[in-house]
Chain A
Amino acid sequence: MRRLRFLALLAAIQWGAAAASAQDSIKIGADLPMSGPNAEYGELFGAAANLAVEHANADKMLSKKLSIQFEDSQATPQQGVVAMNKLVNVEKVPFVLSAFTGVSKAIAPVGDRAKVVSVNGGGIGPDLAELGEYFWNVIPLVNLEIRVMAPYLVQERGFKKIALIYVDDPAGEAIQKELKENVPKAGGQMVAELQVPRNAQQFTSIAAKVREAGPDLVFIASFGAQQAQIVKQLRDNGVSQQLASYSAFSSPTVTQLPEAKGALFPTQSVDWRAAGMSERVAKDWKAKTGKEPNAYVANYYNAVMVFVHLAQALEKSGQPLTGENLLKQRKANGSFDLVGGKMEFLPNGSVSMPIQINEIDGGAGKMVKGGTMAK
């Protein structure tokens, strides 16, 4: 009996401590892949978001300590919704970091109903701009990337015949649609469009189909481990043509893959040497990971900093930190000083930024064409 009382007391103390610590901090959520074949992205996005939290807390930007509650989306819509429900209904966070087109589309209605802001820094499907007022994007969506990439590849580099390998999910299909529209417009031709299942791991026969189509360039629209598998297996199986992709190629797995050397990919324009926030993030990121930062680091750092700036303004005016107030404040704020310079939200909650084109060189990628605004 005495032991039981002791345990009850211990539980009460712990519960009290947890409740007190919850009141002493401001919590936001993150619905990111922490397991499965895309966990590498969750690790990268989470580390960038944590760096922003570290900076915000070190600079005492908010009245209380900021923290992130991570939940595992496994990069699947079903698991993403489970995680989002927990963040919204149990953790009661006003702001959630999201990633992946499929996951983002699945969780947006949950956030919209609960008036919780979701911010995407990794998914690129163009329809992510149409998911309602509570869904924001801090990454330029793929329609903008392709509108810069297609004329560059066809007109400036002379790759007229393009073969596409794309994954059968909303992101892959969005890229196929954009290429189909923009490549002929630039004077090129799509010579093959090969859709692959999301969990496929064998691409030797896809390489045979690509060789048969005889393209000048192979565009790969996948993500995670699969895109690296495609690159390796194409190169191993006689496909020597130029490779290109969208911003997912900025993943360290791809940039450090020897077979990917020379591949072209777009990202938003970020000058990491610019004095101030960009330089500080680049320096601290390199010290923590030993690697150069990429566009995803900027996106998730910026996503957290958007919250910090909005929360600062709300605290100053004495308003509670709710999703509804964050949305109102974002509309009132206009622009934000973030990594890469000033960022302004469009009325639909997405952003328009200059896009640069990079080439994989064994490091984080070297810029081969400076920032261009999509037309």
Chain B
Amino acid sequence: MLLLQLLINGLQLGAIYALTAVGFSLIFGATKIFHVAHGAAFTIAAYLFWWSNAVLGLNWLLAAALAVVAAVAFGLFMERCVYRLIQRHEGAFFTVFIAAFGVQIIVQNLIGTVFGRGFVSVTTPLSHSVQVLPGLFVAPVAALAIVVAVIGFSALTNYLSRTHTGMAMRALSENPDLIRVFGLDPGRVAQYAFAIGSAIVVPGAIFTAMTAGLNPAVGAHVMLISLAATIVGGIGSLRGAAYGGLLLGLAENLALWRLDPQWSEAVTFVVLFLFIIFRPAGFFGRPHAAK
């Protein structure tokens, strides 16, 4: 029964990881910008949801809408006011990385100053587990996280493959000039990537506020997992990032079946190292020829 319990817990956590990793992967895949501040979008969305729902008492749907608006606004701000400015001055990849890292720290401190540095969480019956079989506890939020992850991923995949903007987003990383030929503005397409990539962290942020709770430093962990999932899944592949997130969530939980709990997070990175050594292109990434 313990194994089944760990499997269900792993699926719930994996769904949350997948949702955040997909957003990071979408932005990185389309723009080649290493958006380390993706974790900050997660933190902003989670805190805004908590504040408007648990503190102000707003309806959860309205609170979720506010969280989406805030995450998207943050993503657009980063693209427009930070990355684009650096790239205009031919800023190197490392400059972009440091700038994003700096913003992540600023956001962490701002959140701490505005909302307090302690632990907060959204109290909801959705996070309370019920015993479905002797020794097997499942919370409604587990099923919800899996369903939302599947719907979110399917909607995103459809959008990217069936709409002009979606196709342009996929093309942006390959050949920005080609996008101009089709009369589209690469800057605008990059903004779409940031807006959608930031919006898709919101469900994961809300589920985290309900299940694990929040502190201002929560984004750093999220970013680490998103990055690991992107590498495991194959850089640039959304499907890969989703599977990568799911695999890491499962590995973190199933490790407890045989190993002591202090190894559960280490297992995530063992999986990452195994991929780097034996399958550097990840699940679905394209292998790069040595230059």
Contact = CB atoms under 8 A, between A and B. Distances in A.
Nearest to A253: B118
Contact of A238 (B112, B129, B264): B129
Given A37-B217, A197-B265, A238-B129, A229 B212 contact: yes
B76 to A, nearest CB: 26
Contact of A208 (B6, B119, B215, B216): B6
A197 B215 contact: no
A43 interface: yes
A234 B213 CA distance: 12
Say what secondary structure dominates the interface of chain B: helix
Interface size class of B (residues with CB under 8 A): 35 or more
Interface stretch (A95-103, A199-207, A323-331): A199-207
Contacts of A253: 118-119
A348 to B, nearest CB: 31
Nearest to A229: B213
Interface size range of chain A in the complex: 35 or more
Given A35-B112, A40-B116, A206 B137 contact: no
A224 B264 CA distance: 20
Interface of B: 2, 5-6, 9-10, 12-13, 105, 108-109, 112, 116-119, 121, 123, 127-129, 131, 135, 137, 139, 211-213, 215-218, 221, 252-253, 256, 260-262, 264-266
A152 B105 CA distance: 44
**Main SS at interface, chain A:** helix
A332 B261 CA distance: 49
A238 B137 contact: yes
A36 B215 CA distance: 9
Interface string A194-236: 1111011111111111011000000000001100110011001
Contact of B260 (A37, A194, A202, A238): A194
Given A194-B261, A195-B262, 13 more contacts: A35-B105, A35-B108, A40-B117, A40-B119, A201-B221, A202-B13, A204-B211, A208-B6, A225-B217, A232-B121, A236-B128, A237-B137, A238-B129
A208 B9 contact: yes
Interface of A: 35-37, 39-40, 42-43, 168, 194-197, 199-209, 211-212, 224-225, 228-229, 232-233, 236-238, 251-253, 257-258
Contact of A205 (B128, B215, B253): B253
A23 B9 CA distance: 60
Interface centre among A201, A205, A252, A258 (most CB of B within 10 A): A205
